[in-house]
Structure 1
Amino acid sequence: MAGGMTFHFFIRAVRIDTQQSRRAVVDARKTITS
């Protein structure tokens, strides 16, 4: 049971990490274009 919880938390952390990196890429593009 604990292993499943850890796996779920890991997936959630990765999902948040990808969202932050994607947002950072968008900000970088805005800086380059402007």
Structure 2
Amino acid sequence: LRMRKERPFVFTNMKTGEGLQQIIDFIEHQGMLKD
């Protein structure tokens, strides 16, 4: 994934939900949606 360079990435399988919680946690943390 040359285009990402040093930026983080997560692979997610929306059908099985694998990796989905990591995306949710990132959005909650970065969006300051949770205490």
Same fold (TM over 0.5): no
Structure ranking higher in helix proportion? 1
Higher relative contact order (CA 8 A, sep 6+): 2
What TM-score do the two structures reach when normalised by structure 2? 0.39
What TM-score do the two structures reach when normalised by structure 1? 0.40
Q: Which of structures 1 and 2 has the bigger CA Rg?
A: 1
